[in-house]
């Protein structure tokens, strides 16, 4: 009986074979952390692209010889060209008198990428405004 206990305790008490298990666990955690940082960077990149497209659309719509629909079309074209057409479905353009002068506001609601470019629809919202140009 004593021989079985001592052999069993010797087999279970040793640390042989623990290095590969530790390597796999730590490697998995580092891989997940790296993928999370890359996904966060992709989300910020998509947000910046959509915001820049909204700014460009607002400045285009604010020109004296263009309409609000021209600004919305320009925003949709830029977003579709840079990120994809599924990100350019919800673009709104309206005029406002914010800050005491007429301006154009472009609002874009797009998909927030959570896994690659797949994600939650309409969770990312950006706004851009530009002063209206006049010929006076």
The residue extents of the domains of the chain are 25-131
- Tell me the pLDDT tens digit for each residue of 16-47: 677 888 899 999 999 999 999 999 999 999 99
Mean pLDDT of 87-105: 90
Instruction: Say what the pLDDT of residue 42 is.
Output: 94
Instruction: Say what the pLDDT of residue 8 is.
Output: 62
Q: Tokens in use for 49?
A: 């692209």
Q: Tokens in use for 76?
A: 């949709």
Instruction: Say what the pLDDT of residue 21 is.
Output: 85
Q: Does residue 10 or residue 79 have the better pLDDT?
A: 79
Instruction: Say what the pLDDT of residue 64 is.
Output: 87
Query: What pTM value is reported for the model?
Result: 0.80
Q: State the Cα–Cα distance between residues 132 and 103, nearest whole angstrom.
A: 5
Instruction: Say what the pLDDT of residue 10 is.
Output: 63
Question: Cα 34 to the chain's mean position, in Å?
Answer: 16
Mean pLDDT of 113-125: 90
Are 40 and 114 in contact, with CB atoms under 8 Å apart? no
List, in sequence order, every residue forming a beta bridge with 95; answer none if it has no partner. 104
């Amino acid at each position: 009986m004593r021989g079985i206990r001592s052999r069993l305790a010797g087999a279970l008490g040793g640390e042989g074979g623990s290095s590969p298990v530790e390597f796999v666990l730590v490697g998995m955690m580092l891989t997940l952390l790296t993928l999370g940082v890359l996904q966060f960077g992709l989300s910020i990149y998509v947000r910046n692209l959509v915001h820049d497209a909204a700014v460009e659309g607002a400045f285009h719509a604010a020109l004296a010889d263009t309409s609000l629909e021209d600004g919305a079309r320009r925003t949709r074209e830029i977003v579709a060209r840079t990120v994809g057409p599924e990100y350019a479905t919800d673009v709104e353009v309206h005029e406002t008198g914010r800050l005491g002068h007429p301006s154009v506001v472009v609002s874009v609601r797009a998909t927030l990428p959570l896994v690659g470019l797949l994600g939650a629809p309409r969770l990312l919202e950006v706004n851009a405004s530009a002063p209206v140009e006049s010929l006076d």
